Every structure is written in C-alpha cells, then in structure tokens.
C-alpha cells in the first residue's frame, strides 16, 4: 500500500456511516481522489474542520492499488477559505469550479489543475460580488486549458484555416471552437460569438483578466462555458452547480441581498 503526501484541495464531502466522511480531494500529485476520513464525525476527531469544503492543505493518504476509495490518515490545513461562504455569488461560483474539477480532472497528476483551481478560488474569495462571475469564468477556462481541451479561436476547428483575429465567428461546441464561414454554412449549427466576446475568451484562456460589466454578457459567457463542457467534456450528466450558478446570476437582486 503506497503512502501519498500531497498538496490538496477539498472539493466535496459527505457523511459515511455513523462516524466517517467520504471526501473528494484534488491533489497536486495524483489527480482527484476519493478518500475515507475514518472517525471524522466524532466530537474529538483529529480532522476537526480541516476537511471543510474548499480547504487547502497537505493530505496524507494510504493509496489502495485495487480500489477507488483510499484512506485519509491526516490533513494539515493551510487555507480554509471561509470567505467563500460569505456571499451567494462567491459560493455558487466556487461550487461551479469544484464541480468542473470533480467531473473532469480525475486523472490529472501534473498539478496544473490543482494549481489553477486553488488560484481561482483565492481570487473569488477576495473579489466583490459584481466581479466574481468574470473571475470565475476566467479561472474555469484556465482549468479547461490545463486539461488540454481549450477551444480553438484563431483557426477553424473543422478545417484549420486561419480566422481573421477581430471578426465575429460561429462557435460550434461539437467541433471544438470557432468555425470559418464555409464550415459554419456546411455544419448549420453553433452560436454566434461576437468579436468582443471572442477577445474576452481569448484573454481568459491566456490567463489574463477581462471584466464583464454587462449582466447579459456574463450570462451568455456562463451558458457558453456550460454548453462547451457538456458537449466536449461531459458524460451525459447535467452540470448541476453550473446550472445553479447561471440561475443565481439571473437574479441580481437576490445576489445583492446575500452579498
């Protein structure tokens, strides 16, 4: 049985039997793991609040080579991120990032997804509620890029012809990005991606900041990301946290009440 000690991020947890918890963690060295924290629900548990949602720390794991559930023997918390629960905008955005990692980063062992996810959660935690959607969108697209599934924006995703850099394009989720006019006509599917939205998406994928002042533009970008994930990376199951995030963004007064 191999012992693993790795920087980790708590993505999800739930009660298991009377005294334990099952915890999903994104590790820097072994991708996303499911671990059992035995005794975590006992009053004098050594885990305490160390395995709360969105907490970062060093996980100590006994890796079972023949199973998908490993044993968490310790978790040395280094950052709790309690600020993510301070507003509905922060919490729903952070939950969408967590869902992205849970669903698509299982086999990543490079540490890049872990690092991208922790960076965006830190940024969400210090952002004003109005700035959260753009920061979360940028971070989510960076995670997608680290997974190796970034959409094509400057070459046609179908025929690979170069695209004019400042033009509006047709974005086809199934093809994997922007299409030239000819391929767009042949395919007869996809949605229009205005030049400004294309430039914003290009900046996010490059790790640059690009804010969105228009609520309608934010919602359109959220929908674009969710549809891309469901088509290009999905397994047929709905992305529930993304749907909730979109719904919250469509209710600005509710978001303000919880800021």
pLDDT tens for 9-22 read 999 999 999 999 99
Give the domain-ending residue among 54, 79, 104: 79
What tokens does 157 get?
A: 């995703």
Above 60 in pLDDT, residue 83?
A: yes
Domain coverage including residue 251: 83-151+191-257
> Does the residue 109 lie in any domain?
yes
Note whether 12 and 59 are same-domain residues: yes
Number of domains into which the chain is organized: 2
> Does the residue 156 lie in any domain?
no
pLDDT mean across residues, the chain: 90
Note whether 99 and 31 are same-domain residues: no
pLDDT tens digits for range 179-236: 999 999 998 889 999 999 999 999 999 988 888 888 899 999 999 999 999 987 777 7
pLDDT tens digits for range 93-130: 999 999 999 988 776 668 888 999 999 999 999 998 88
Question: Is pTM, for the whole model, over 0.85?
Answer: yes
Note whether 127 and 68 are same-domain residues: no
Note whether 45 and 112 are same-domain residues: no
Give the domain-ending residue among 27, 44, 79: 79
Size of the chain in residues = 259
Q: To the nearest 10°, the Cα dihedral for 144, 146, 147, 148?
A: 90
Does residue 90 contact residue 127 with C-beta atoms inside 8 Å?
yes
């Amino acid at each position: 049985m191999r012992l693993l000690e790795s920087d980790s991020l708590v993505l999800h947890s739930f009660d298991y039997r009377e005294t334990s918890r099952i915890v999903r963690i994104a590790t820097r060295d072994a991708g996303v793991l499911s671990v059992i924290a035995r005794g975590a629900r006992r009053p004098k548990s050594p885990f305490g609040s160390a395995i709360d949602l969105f907490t970062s720390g060093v996980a100590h794991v006994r890796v079972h080579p023949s199973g998908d559930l490993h044993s968490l023997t310790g978790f040395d918390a280094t950052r709790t991120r309690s600020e993510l629960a301070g507003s509905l905008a922060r919490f729903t955005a952070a939950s969408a990032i967590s869902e992205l990692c849970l669903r698509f980063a299982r086999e990543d062992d490079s540490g890049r997804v872990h690092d991208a996810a922790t960076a965006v959660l830190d940024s969400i935690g210090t952002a004003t509620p109005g700035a959260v959607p753009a920061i979360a969108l940028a971070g989510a697209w960076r995670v997608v890029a680290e997974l190796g599934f970034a959409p094509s924006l400057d070459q046609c995703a179908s025929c690979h012809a170069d695209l004019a850099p400042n033009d509006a394009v047709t974005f086809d989720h199934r093809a994997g990005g922007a299409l030239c006019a000819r391929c767009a006509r042949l395919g007869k599917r996809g949605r229009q991606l205005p030049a400004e939205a294309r430039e914003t998406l290009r900046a996010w994928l490059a790790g640059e900041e690009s804010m969105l002042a228009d609520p309608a533009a934010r919602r359109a970008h959220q929908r674009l990301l969710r549809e891309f994930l469901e088509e290009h990376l999905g397994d047929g199951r709905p992305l529930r946290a993304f749907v909730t995030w979109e719904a919250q963004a469509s209710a600005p007064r509710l978001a303000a009440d919880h800021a």
